[in-house]
Structure 1
Amino acid sequence: MTGQWQNLQERGSPLALRTIRWIALRVGRPFARSLLPAITLYFLLTAGHARQASRQFLRRAGFERPHLGHVFRHFYTFAAVILDRVYFTRGDLQRFDLRLHIDPGVRDHLDGGHGALMLGAHFGSFDALRAVGLQYGDLRLRVLMHYDSGQLIVRLLDALNPQMAQTVIPLGTPQTLLRTKEWLDDGGTVALLGDRLLQTDDPSRRRTVNCHFMGHPTRMPTGPLHLAARTRKPIILFFGIYRGGNRYDIHLEWLVEQDEVDRIDAPETVQRVIQRYADRLEAHARNAPYNWFNFYDYWRNDELDHD
């Protein structure tokens, strides 16, 4: 996680995280969920920047005057999804109502054993898709992400399921592209997130385009499209939306079909596809606004490129 919500996570002590894990595993999900209102209230009272970012997003999602009750529910949804990571990571899926919504063409592509990139966002549960990938043999999944084994949260998740590390392709290594292409060529899928800019001081590495999201201009990265061009694989959008209780709706739909891959590096195609990504993310975010988990000022208008 980056941005203001990362500051919230950094406030949690190692003892607190281990305690939450112990409660979740030894006492059970119902009791662990009973603690979420108190945890949410603490961050509601202490995380001023995140409160402001929540209100900003909720206004743009259609709330005329978002109040503390709305922000509380926003924070609570995030806390509930984070708690469920414990169970998804262990492959403990029987407690969840997982509903898959897959475009017929996407299903045919995956059932045919063809590789694809899966592009998501910091929206809903990333782990819900990974858990489905571990459960169903016809979805052979790897996750492309920054993987720091020294991070506390990574150590805790690895302790829950040592096999989880085998599903990760680390970003930023000399072998990243090669491992990704080999997995895709073997009929696997590789999932990554595409809604945050690369944090770097080297402007040449900031591949972005201007687009509109929630009615306002912003920048979004184009790296996933360049990866699709290098690997010659299509892109499937995925969203794991938390609906409350134990229900998650998992959506898989086309972003770039196979016959579009040859043209994906053209500037006009990049602009069109990234705007399509923003439009689909907006549609789902308006439908389930509390699943939006970018708790910082997402619209950096002062950093937009001006032609």
Structure 2
Amino acid sequence: MAMSGRGFLLVGSIYTDYRWTVRQKSPRHRCLCNRMLAPNGLMAKYAAVLAVALLPQLVHSLKTRSTKGISYGWQLVYLFGLVLNFIYFLMIKATAAWATLTIEVFFCTWLLVLKIKIDGLECSSRSEANAKDISGDKDDAAACKSGHTDLESLDLELKSGLDNALNRAICVVDGNVDLTRNVDDLICKDAIRFRHDSTIGPYTLVNGAYRGFHIMIDAVFTIELPPEFGNDLLTQMCALAKIHGVRVVHDHAEIFDGTTPGFVAVALLDESHMSAHCYSGQGKLTFDVFTTCGANPDCTRKVARDVLFYLRRNLGGDAKYQIHHLVPLRPVHKGIGY
């Protein structure tokens, strides 16, 4: 929702209050002002319009769990203007006006608290810059590709689908540590995302690179998977790692031959690993990956994102996914994260 409309209302309301205060000093306009402050007067209607001005934004923010585009400065100025209006209405005893304005003050305060809960108190400009740097999903192959030209034709449908065919799925993002984003019907390409400014500390720096992030994806499904799906998934995991410039040291897949069908697929990365563990007979699969010290952590995130998209293509339309994101809770000795 655009801020210009409510900003215009705020400026207009402050100017109106100023003009009204000046005019009330004149006996000529006092009678007119008193008539306008009647219970059914224009002032009550004006306050009622302001009272619902923030309702669409509040509904949108609660639905999407996002306060993007609402700055702390705008909210504080708007809330300050509302408080001035409220005090003014009390002074002139405009009961209907200040009672209605109380609703808008409540909505505005709720929005401010919601933004603090979702975004924290970090500098908004720095957050937007980091989010812009990290959320470059459209240039995923170009930014992190390690120069393997033989992989350019690998799974073109998957790569093109990331930008053009990503449908909505049933995804839930757990609020671990800094993350408080719990969203139903979340677009999966936006589900795995983190900001360096809120999750990176001095204790997570090793040799000038970031590490210590753990991304987990849990999936439940109802379709019957073929026995070779474990090998196919491992091949896809390694291929995506190469595309995004994450070095694979070794990989191995173990297909269960017991009474419970399933598999384990593991790839040892540069100072890290990623793995998939599946009980296909029970319709359960989990994937996890640690960010690596030898590669950009955002490249590792993109591997997890693309694996999620691959699972969505192969686990059926009724599958459900839950994404977890863990970061260190506290500093560890000698400046090294876990």
- Structure with higher Rg: it is 2
Q: TM-score, normalised by structure 2?
A: 0.24
Q: TM-score, normalised by structure 1?
A: 0.26
Higher RCO (C-alpha 8 Å, min separation 6): 1
